Amino acid sequence: MTTQTPGKLRDHNGTCEAAPSSAPCTISEMAVEFGVSLRTLRFYEDRHLLRPLRRGTARLYSATDRARLRMILKAKELGFTLSEISDLMADTPEGATSLDLNLRPEQILVQISLLERQRRGLEHAIGELRATHARLAEVGAGVQVA
Protein backbone atom coordinates (compact mmCIF):
# COMPACT_ATOMS: atom_id res chain seq x y z
CA MET A 1 0.00 0.00 0.00
CA THR A 2 1.43 3.37 -0.96
CA THR A 3 0.19 6.84 -0.24
CA GLN A 4 0.99 10.01 -2.09
CA THR A 5 2.46 12.85 -0.07
CA PRO A 6 3.79 16.12 -1.43
CA GLY A 7 6.78 15.22 -3.57
CA LYS A 8 7.23 11.62 -2.41
CA LEU A 9 5.62 8.22 -2.42
CA ARG A 10 5.62 6.38 0.89
CA ASP A 11 5.03 2.70 1.45
CA HIS A 12 3.20 1.11 4.39
CA ASN A 13 6.47 0.49 6.24
CA GLY A 14 7.15 4.19 6.71
CA THR A 15 10.04 4.53 4.28
CA CYS A 16 10.48 6.98 1.44
CA GLU A 17 10.19 5.14 -1.86
CA ALA A 18 11.46 8.15 -3.77
CA ALA A 19 14.65 8.37 -1.71
CA PRO A 20 17.10 5.83 -0.34
CA SER A 21 16.17 4.58 3.13
CA SER A 22 19.35 6.23 4.40
CA ALA A 23 18.21 9.66 3.14
CA PRO A 24 17.21 11.95 6.00
CA CYS A 25 13.61 13.12 6.37
CA THR A 26 12.42 16.47 7.68
CA ILE A 27 10.13 16.74 10.67
CA SER A 28 7.17 17.37 8.35
CA GLU A 29 7.97 14.29 6.30
CA MET A 30 8.28 12.20 9.47
CA ALA A 31 4.95 13.47 10.74
CA VAL A 32 3.20 12.56 7.49
CA GLU A 33 5.05 9.26 7.16
CA PHE A 34 4.03 8.02 10.61
CA GLY A 35 0.75 9.86 11.10
CA VAL A 36 1.92 11.81 14.15
CA SER A 37 2.02 15.51 14.89
CA LEU A 38 5.07 17.75 14.79
CA ARG A 39 4.49 18.33 18.49
CA THR A 40 4.70 14.57 19.14
CA LEU A 41 8.05 14.35 17.35
CA ARG A 42 9.41 17.33 19.30
CA PHE A 43 8.15 15.78 22.53
CA TYR A 44 9.91 12.49 21.77
CA GLU A 45 13.07 14.47 21.06
CA ASP A 46 12.71 16.31 24.39
CA ARG A 47 12.37 12.91 26.09
CA HIS A 48 15.55 11.76 24.26
CA LEU A 49 13.68 9.00 22.46
CA LEU A 50 14.61 10.47 19.07
CA ARG A 51 17.86 12.22 18.20
CA PRO A 52 17.49 14.00 14.87
CA LEU A 53 20.43 15.79 13.33
CA ARG A 54 20.02 19.54 13.77
CA ARG A 55 20.91 22.02 11.03
CA GLY A 56 20.04 25.38 12.51
CA THR A 57 16.38 25.04 13.41
CA ALA A 58 15.80 22.17 10.97
CA ARG A 59 15.54 18.60 12.21
CA LEU A 60 16.69 15.80 9.93
CA TYR A 61 15.64 12.27 10.83
CA SER A 62 17.83 9.33 9.81
CA ALA A 63 16.85 5.75 9.02
CA THR A 64 17.75 4.95 12.65
CA ASP A 65 15.35 7.66 13.86
CA ARG A 66 12.62 6.17 11.66
CA ALA A 67 13.30 2.70 13.10
CA ARG A 68 13.24 4.13 16.64
CA LEU A 69 9.94 5.91 15.98
CA ARG A 70 8.49 2.65 14.63
CA MET A 71 9.54 0.97 17.90
CA ILE A 72 8.11 3.81 20.03
CA LEU A 73 4.76 3.65 18.26
CA LYS A 74 4.67 -0.15 18.52
CA ALA A 75 5.48 0.01 22.25
CA LYS A 76 2.71 2.58 22.76
CA GLU A 77 0.33 0.30 20.88
CA LEU A 78 1.32 -2.48 23.29
CA GLY A 79 0.40 -0.26 26.22
CA PHE A 80 3.83 0.75 27.50
CA THR A 81 4.25 4.18 29.08
CA LEU A 82 6.81 6.63 27.70
CA SER A 83 8.98 6.05 30.77
CA GLU A 84 8.92 2.31 30.10
CA ILE A 85 9.59 2.94 26.42
CA SER A 86 12.53 5.14 27.36
CA ASP A 87 13.96 2.30 29.46
CA LEU A 88 13.38 -0.18 26.64
CA MET A 89 15.04 2.15 24.15
CA ALA A 90 18.02 2.71 26.45
CA ASP A 91 18.63 -1.05 26.35
CA THR A 92 18.25 -1.18 22.57
CA PRO A 93 21.42 -1.77 20.60
CA GLU A 94 22.09 1.04 18.13
CA GLY A 95 20.54 0.20 14.80
CA ALA A 96 18.03 -2.34 16.18
CA THR A 97 14.77 -2.25 14.28
CA SER A 98 12.47 -4.47 16.33
CA LEU A 99 11.04 -3.83 19.78
CA ASP A 100 10.81 -7.53 20.60
CA LEU A 101 14.61 -7.67 20.75
CA ASN A 102 14.41 -5.75 24.04
CA LEU A 103 11.45 -7.36 25.73
CA ARG A 104 12.20 -10.01 28.29
CA PRO A 105 9.65 -12.80 28.75
CA GLU A 106 8.76 -11.55 32.26
CA GLN A 107 8.14 -8.02 30.89
CA ILE A 108 5.79 -9.46 28.32
CA LEU A 109 3.84 -11.37 30.99
CA VAL A 110 3.60 -8.30 33.23
CA GLN A 111 2.32 -6.22 30.31
CA ILE A 112 -0.23 -8.88 29.35
CA SER A 113 -1.46 -8.94 32.95
CA LEU A 114 -1.77 -5.14 33.01
CA LEU A 115 -3.66 -5.07 29.72
CA GLU A 116 -6.01 -7.83 30.91
CA ARG A 117 -6.77 -5.83 34.09
CA GLN A 118 -7.42 -2.75 31.96
CA ARG A 119 -9.69 -4.79 29.67
CA ARG A 120 -11.69 -6.06 32.68
CA GLY A 121 -12.01 -2.48 33.91
CA LEU A 122 -13.18 -1.30 30.50
CA GLU A 123 -15.67 -4.16 30.22
CA HIS A 124 -17.06 -3.26 33.66
CA ALA A 125 -17.34 0.44 32.70
CA ILE A 126 -19.06 -0.44 29.42
CA GLY A 127 -21.50 -2.70 31.29
CA GLU A 128 -22.30 0.08 33.77
CA LEU A 129 -22.87 2.58 30.97
CA ARG A 130 -25.11 0.17 29.05
CA ALA A 131 -27.19 -0.49 32.18
CA THR A 132 -27.51 3.24 32.88
CA HIS A 133 -28.47 3.90 29.26
CA ALA A 134 -31.12 1.17 29.39
CA ARG A 135 -32.59 2.61 32.62
CA LEU A 136 -32.69 6.10 31.13
CA ALA A 137 -34.28 4.80 27.94
CA GLU A 138 -37.00 3.05 30.00
CA VAL A 139 -37.69 6.19 32.03
CA GLY A 140 -37.78 8.29 28.85
CA ALA A 141 -40.19 5.85 27.18
CA GLY A 142 -42.51 5.99 30.21
CA VAL A 143 -42.70 9.79 30.25
CA GLN A 144 -45.25 11.28 27.89
CA VAL A 145 -45.12 14.86 26.73
CA ALA A 146 -48.41 16.74 27.04
Ordered by start, the domain boundaries in the chain are: 2-103
Evaluate if residue 34 carries a pLDDT over 60: yes
At residue 141, the pLDDT reads: 75
At residue 140, the pLDDT reads: 77
Evaluate if residue 87 carries a pLDDT over 60: yes
Tell me which amino acid residue 62 is: S
The β-bridge relationship of strands 2-5 and 8-11 is antiparallel
Evaluate if residue 10 carries a pLDDT over 50: no
| Mean pLDDT within 92-109 | 75
On whether the 2-103 domain is CATH 1.10.1660.10, my answer is: yes
